């Protein structure tokens, strides 16, 4: 007997996409430093491998791969691929959020504004890659997003479209133009604010945290191999808006840091 429409709807495991799902998807994407890249092997079998990951200003995933790697040849032959981002956590790994991105790979030319920006952002996120990034057999790829499957934990599945995860072009263009200078300024003149972002707002250990990237959705902070994502409370679409949000977050962190502890009961 065919199920009725209400029964079919109740049994559908995919939930309607909401702002909470979009926020979680962006957090997984922007916070990732590695992932499992699946390509289509030339023998017809899917092939998965571990890759280092960064993101462009709009959130597009970026990878740096060698021509000697099997997945590079696979991408040259068929650019369709997927990337699983699963940071995990304590206990059952299936209880934690993860996202699978449906992508189409595009090799980035070294010359020009895009190539320079992608190289800078990737190495800011993956500084050890500077040892081999300029070898002749290595290439940067942008993995253009075509869709995503988000699993927020048991019973929380969503299908996302690019607009749910990527930032609009107008905002990314404005922020990309000021990012390098703004990051340098924050590290040189506002190291105390960066420390508060990390230790107060994100509850990380104390240390010489540095800002490594800015985009309309937030900022990337690093201490050695440890990375943090400082999400903005709203999209900052201009240089002025980025400055305003950073100031607001610094003030909020300072107030929270200086707040007297409640007396023990």
Residue 206 and residue 143 in one domain: no
Structural domain boundaries, residue 251: 167-259
**Whole-angstrom Cα distance, residue 214 to residue 77?**
34
Residue 29 and residue 146 in one domain: yes
pLDDT of residue 90: 84
Residue 154 and residue 235 in one domain: no
Residue 21 and residue 107 in one domain: yes
Q: Is residue 245 in some structural domain? A: yes
Final residue in a domain of this structure, among 143, 166, 189: 166
Final residue in a domain of this structure, among 166, 196, 230: 166
What's the total number of domains in the chain?
Answer: 2
Residue 170 has pLDDT above 50, yes or no: yes
Taking Cα atoms as reference points, which of 80, 83, 74, 78 lies closest to residue 54?
Answer: 83
Residue 45 and residue 153 in one domain: yes
Query: What are 20-66's pLDDT values in tens digits?
Result: 999 999 999 999 999 999 999 988 899 999 999 999 999 999 999 99
pLDDT of residue 263: 57
**Whole-angstrom Cα distance, residue 170 to residue 16?**
27
Q: Determine whether 41 is exposed, middle or buried from the number of CB atoms within 10 Å of its CB (0-12, 13-18, 19+).
A: middle
Q: What is the CATH number of the domain that holds 228?
A: 3.20.180.10
Q: CA 56, 65, 52: angle at the middle one, nearest 5? A: 55
Band the pLDDT of 10: cuts 50, 70, 90.
low
Final residue in a domain of this structure, among 110, 145, 166: 166
pTM, 2 dp = 0.89
């Amino acid at each position: 007997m065919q199920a009725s429409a209400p029964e079919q709807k109740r049994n559908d495991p995919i939930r309607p996409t909401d702002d909470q799902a979009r926020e979680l998807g962006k957090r997984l994407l922007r916070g990732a430093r590695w992932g499992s890249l699946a390509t289509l092997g030339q023998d017809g079998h899917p092939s998965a491998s571990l890759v280092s990951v960064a993101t462009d200003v709009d959130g597009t995933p970026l990878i740096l791969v060698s021509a000697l790697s099997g997945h590079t040849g696979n991408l040259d032959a068929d650019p369709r691929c997927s990337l699983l981002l699963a940071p995990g956590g304590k206990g059952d790994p299936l209880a934690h959020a993860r996202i699978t991105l449906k992508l189409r790979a595009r090799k980035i030319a070294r010359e020009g504004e895009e190539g320079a920006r992608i190289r800078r952002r990737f190495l800011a996120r993956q500084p050890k890659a500077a040892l081999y990034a300029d070898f002749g057999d290595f290439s940067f790829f942008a993995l253009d997003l075509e869709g995503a499957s988000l699993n927020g934990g048991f019973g929380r599945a969503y299908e996302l479209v690019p607009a749910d995860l990527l930032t609009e072009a107008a905002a990314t263009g404005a922020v990309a133009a000021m990012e390098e200078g703004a990051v340098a300024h924050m590290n040189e003149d506002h190291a105390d604010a960066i420390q508060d972002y990390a230790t107060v707002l994100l509850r990380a250990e104390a240390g010489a945290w540095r800002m490594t990237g800015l985009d309309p959705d937030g900022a990337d902070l690093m201490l050695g191999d440890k990375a943090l994502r400082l999400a903005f409370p709203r999209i900052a679409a201009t240089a002025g808006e980025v400055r305003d949000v950073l100031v607001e977050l610094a003030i909020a962190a300072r107030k929270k840091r200086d707040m007297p502890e409640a007396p023990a009961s």
